[in-house]
Amino acid sequence: MRILHTADWHLGKRLEQSERTDEHQAFLNWLIVTLQTEKIDVLIVAGDIFDTGSPSNTAFEQYYGFLRQVKDTCCREVIIIGGNHDSISTLNAPQSLLKYFNVHIIGGVPEEFTDQIIEISHEGKLELVVCAVPFLRDRDIRLSVAGETMEERESRIKQGITDHYHRFLKHISNYKLNHIPVIATGHLFAAGSSTSDSEKEIHVGNLGQIGGDQFPKEFDYVALGHIHRPQLINQLNHIRYSGSPIPLSFSETDDKKQVVILEFQEGEMTSLETLEVPCTRRLIRIKGDFEKVKTKLVLLGDPHTLFPAWVEIQVETESTIFDLEEQLNSLIVNKPFIERLFPRQFRIKAAQNLDEQTAEAMALTDLDPKTVFLKCCASAYPEQDHTVLLTAFNEVQEYMIQKEERP
């Protein structure tokens, strides 16, 4: 049996106001071909199918169009879990119908715990079991305790996530005795993983990080989502993030995107390999002072991808360059392989120590809500400890995220 693990599609994602629809469709087309050529039996998508809880019609069309095409391949079963970006109700809405087509949807933790356990059979023989764990929201894994400290809260979240996975042990013991491989999924932030700019924090402040050794050893493989850079956890080959299939921010420009393919024979994993996803649009980042970025832009060569490149220009300057975009665009008139520039200006100003300099972002779009809040705190209460305010902000932000996801 061959299994393909992917995650973090983020259908409907935009980079500022620029659509990513073409890139996503190119990936989905490639994946359909790959399912066939690699003779994949089971497809696992580990969360964040959509970029928002209210996907566009175009994103829905891509999603359902893909599921329809899967049925024309050799892939027999599809397992999809919800991520922190996904709406539980949106994913679960067609759950009963899609199950008839062997598409198993676990948008959120179900009322019945064992509904997360999916048996995969072929010609009457049980061949694989998947513990399909979705993104674990705060309410799924712990009870709020009034007056608890940040450390106590973090400890309770970690323990709640760990306990959730260990609850499977009594349910999978017979499978293991009969040499049936068991795969678990997850959409979380594992300790030690390397992030990019495009991941939103899970359990605000990245609370709830669990190490690879906290997953039960009974799992033959753990298919993770949320982190967009492909990587394994704690040097454990069988616990992996597949990463996102396309670069979702300019911080991912050098990442090699991939899917993970596993093969099991007679209950044992016989191979684990990664397959690179073709890059259809390069996201390029250029940094430096004005003269340096102009030189780099002029020398930039054709990346030879299906779609023209997008280039982020980070200019370090002592004073605002009011016609920056016009000057930069004039340099790419004869470069049809560059479709759009994303200029950013960073003001360089003297710090308290003349030997040090700090770069201050001049665009609000470069700042996340937490950074803006901390800047406001520093401005309004420069002499005070902001720990209590930050804790309150984290609680409110997480509450709002969960409120959006409630059916």
pLDDT given for residue 25 in this prediction: 98
Instruction: Provide the token pair at 80.
Output: 């999809």
pLDDT given for residue 400 in this prediction: 66
Q: Using CA atoms, how far apart are residues 71 and 179, in angstroms rounded to an integer?
A: 29
pLDDT given for residue 119 in this prediction: 96
| 259 & 342 share domain | no
Q: Where are the beta strands (DSSP E) in 53-116?
A: 77-81, 103-106
| CATH number where 23 lies | 3.60.21.10
pLDDT given for residue 203 in this prediction: 41
| 29 & 117 share domain | yes
pLDDT given for residue 254 in this prediction: 84
| CATH number where 401 lies | 3.30.160.720
Q: Where are the alpha helices (DSSP H) in 38-81?
A: 57-70
Q: Using CA atoms, how far apart are residues 400 and 407, in angstroms rounded to an integer?
A: 14
Q: Domain tally for the chain?
A: 2
| 309 & 271 share domain | no
Q: Among residues 276, 297, 330, which one ends one of the domains?
A: 276
Q: Using CA atoms, how far apart are residues 242 and 275, in angstroms rounded to an integer?
A: 10
| 233 & 345 share domain | no
pLDDT given for residue 140 in this prediction: 81
| 57 & 196 share domain | yes
CA atoms within 13 A on the CB side of 89: 8
**Nearest by Cα to 261 from 46, 44, 25, 27:** 44
| 308 & 254 share domain | no
**Phi, psi at residue 155, to the nearest 5°?**
-60, -40
pLDDT given for residue 204 in this prediction: 37
pLDDT given for residue 402 in this prediction: 55
pLDDT given for residue 375 in this prediction: 78
pLDDT in tens, the chain (407 residues): 999 999 999 999 999 889 999 999 999 999 999 999 999 999 999 999 999 999 999 999 999 999 999 999 999 999 999 999 999 999 999 999 999 999 999 999 999 999 999 999 998 899 999 999 999 988 887 666 667 777 777 788 888 899 999 999 999 999 999 999 999 999 998 876 666 665 554 443 344 578 888 899 999 999 999 999 999 988 899 999 999 999 999 988 888 999 999 999 988 999 999 999 999 999 999 999 999 999 999 999 999 999 999 999 999 998 889 999 999 999 999 999 999 999 999 888 655 454 554 444 445 555 667 777 877 877 777 666 676 677 677 767 666 655 554 44
pLDDT given for residue 334 in this prediction: 93
| 247 & 296 share domain | no
Cα 216 to chain centroid distance, Å, stands at 23
| 157 & 235 share domain | yes
User: Which structural domain, as residue segments, surrounds residue 362?
Assistant: 283-405
pLDDT given for residue 199 in this prediction: 54
pLDDT given for residue 141 in this prediction: 78
Q: Among residues 225, 241, 276, which one ends one of the domains?
A: 276
| 48 & 100 share domain | yes
Q: Using CA atoms, how far apart are residues 171 and 161, in angstroms rounded to an integer?
A: 17
CB of 54 closer than 8 Å to CB of 89: no
pLDDT given for residue 407 in this prediction: 47
| 335 & 373 share domain | yes
Q: Among residues 220, 249, 276, which one ends one of the domains?
A: 276
| 324 & 382 share domain | yes
CB of 29 closer than 8 Å to CB of 69: no
Any bridge partners for residue 346, and if so which?
316, 361
pLDDT given for residue 209 in this prediction: 74
pLDDT given for residue 239 in this prediction: 95
| 340 & 245 share domain | no
Positive/negative CA dihedral, 110, 229, 362, 283? negative
